[in-house]
Amino acid sequence: MASFSPPVAEQSTSVRLGSEFRPDLGRHPTIVILDFGSQYAELIARRIRETEVFSVVLDHGISAAELQRLQPRGLILSGGPSSVYGEEAPGCDPELWQLGIPILGVCYGMQLMVQQLGGQVDACQRGEYGRAHLWIDDPTDLLTNVDNGSVMWMSHGDGVSRLPEGFTCLAHTENTPLAAIAHAQRRFYGVQFHPEVIHSTCGMGLIRNFVFHICGCSPDWTTAALTEQAIADVQAMVGNCRVLLALSGGVDSSTLAFLLQRAIGPQLTCVFIDQGFMRKGETEFLVNLFRERFHIDVHHIQARERFLNQLKGVRDPEEKRKIIGKEFIGVFEEESKRLGPFHYLAQGTLYPDVIESAGTNVDGKTGKRVAVKIKSHHNVGGLPEDLRFQLVEPLRHLFKDEVRKLGRSLGLPEEIVRRHPFPGPGLAIRILGEVTEDKLEILRDADMIMREEIKAAGLYHEIWQALAVLLPVQSVGVMGDHRTYAYPIVIRCVTSQDGMTADWFPIPYEVLGQISNRIVNEVKGVNRVVYDVTSKPPGTIEWE
């Protein structure tokens, strides 16, 4: 993969947003996933990394020659929203089939394999979505130790109607006669379901079969290797230049601070921008923690009024994110002039951020990504074209659990490593509609009560993320002998491994009752508390 030379120290800090940093620089991936627009393409990579095998996701338009240069042990073709028989359906280099390496097609990837090798794919009379029982016809190779009748996650309206020459059926479901197929001699495999999602009960067993039994990989992608590689990549990219880091106190930016401090030492300057959207008391706590306990020089920038003024009258969540992102960069550019010069801006962008900020469907002939956009993130969306920094994003291809492992290896304390995720735009996207100082105060108080009660009940580390949301509606209530007309607070607690999928957490009724009782009694302006029991999908974790 292409790298670039950092600007020399004498250059101006005004450099355009350009090449993106990838943690896989300098190391060949063991398994390559070709992305055909699936929201789960990166999740496949995560599952493979759980087996301690290094994997990366590349665009489906990559040439067979370039793949051969990378020397992967195996190749996986992801799912995608298109139909292979569509006019602008994304394809792949037909020379891939001549590389002589094992290939696994997942959903769309399986259909593309079938079509390009001479089989037939048609629209199903009856699509299949959600959980389905997999009935195994041939338990060898790919399906070794996969339970007959196990649940797999389906999401398709097309299906294979005729197999290419040399392929056989490995498994079926009630509605899909060819749910898993293989050409054993050429080591080509296809599954119509998604083994990478947590709902597929034996999905990891299937993935392990492909990675170890079929591809012959070795488990050498360990935390130590990840740490060593990330430090080396940062040093190679940055050289002798200075780096400015936005430190928020979350696990992502904190891990990044420790990583950059280890990699480049005094070349790093940390800035904590108080945009006014943090939780109650958190700004003061985090700044003191990093300064006094970790001895990291943090410049605390007060910008609450500035950010709030920019959001006056703004109700659209995407517009809010873009405004916050733009203002965030504006503050950084001003601080860079005061503290600089700096050539690089470090961000704790993660894989899920990149996935959910993917562009909308595009022409398959261009080789561009075809995933459907869900939402943007302020650290990957809304950045101006004339950004006065080059981005350093060494966590961009890591999932949250991998970041936690990296943080621990760097000496980050557990109180930071195990903190719940918190969005960059903060409470501004947990207040639906216009953000005002009054609403921020209401939400801060409600959020603190919720977190206090969850911790008191010993549930904090059982929950992946807990949040309170203020809705832009009011409802009638009664307190004492008085009628009230006030806001509702939504409590949302979820369990997840990486934020890609999530289930709502079954908080005990007595804990919910205590949270509700305290909020309506202690927070002025709230007379109702509700609990969100929606999983992801179909919902997202945040409300905006």
d(CA 441, CA 120): 60
Q: Which of 60, 92, 107, 335 is catalytic?
A: 107
d(CA 76, CA 84): 17
> Residue for token digits 């956009």?
373
d(CA 15, CA 61): 29
Triad 418, 424, 428: Cα angle to 5°: 115
Name the DSSP letter for residue 536.
B
Q: Is 196 a catalytic residue?
A: yes
Which secondary-structure segment (H or E) carries 330? Answer: helix 317-339
Which secondary-structure segment (H or E) carries 353? Answer: helix 351-356
Q: Is 194 a catalytic residue?
A: yes
Quote the tokens at residue 352.
């899920």
DSSP readout, 272-307?
EEE-S-SPTTHHHHHHHIIIIIS---EEEEE-HHHH
Name the DSSP letter for residue 214.
I
The b-or-e profile of 450-465 (16+ CB within 10 A means b, else e) is: bbebbeeeebeeebbb
State whether residue 344 is helix, strand or coil: strand
Q: Which of 42, 156, 183, 196 is catalytic?
A: 196
State whether residue 192 is helix, strand or coil: coil
CA atoms within 13 A on the CB side of 47: 24
482: Cβ contacts below 8 Å, ≥ 6 apart: none
Q: Which of 156, 183, 194, 397 is catalytic?
A: 194
> Residue for token digits 């029991």?
533
Question: In terms of Cα–Cα distance, which of 430, 450, 454 is closest to 440?
Answer: 430
State whether residue 265 is helix, strand or coil: helix
Helices (H), 125-250: 203-208, 223-238
CA 135 vs CA 177, 179, 307, 442, 499: distances in Å: 10, 9, 56, 53, 30
Instruction: Tell me the sheet residues that pair with 106.
Output: 191
The set of catalytic residues is 107, 194, 196
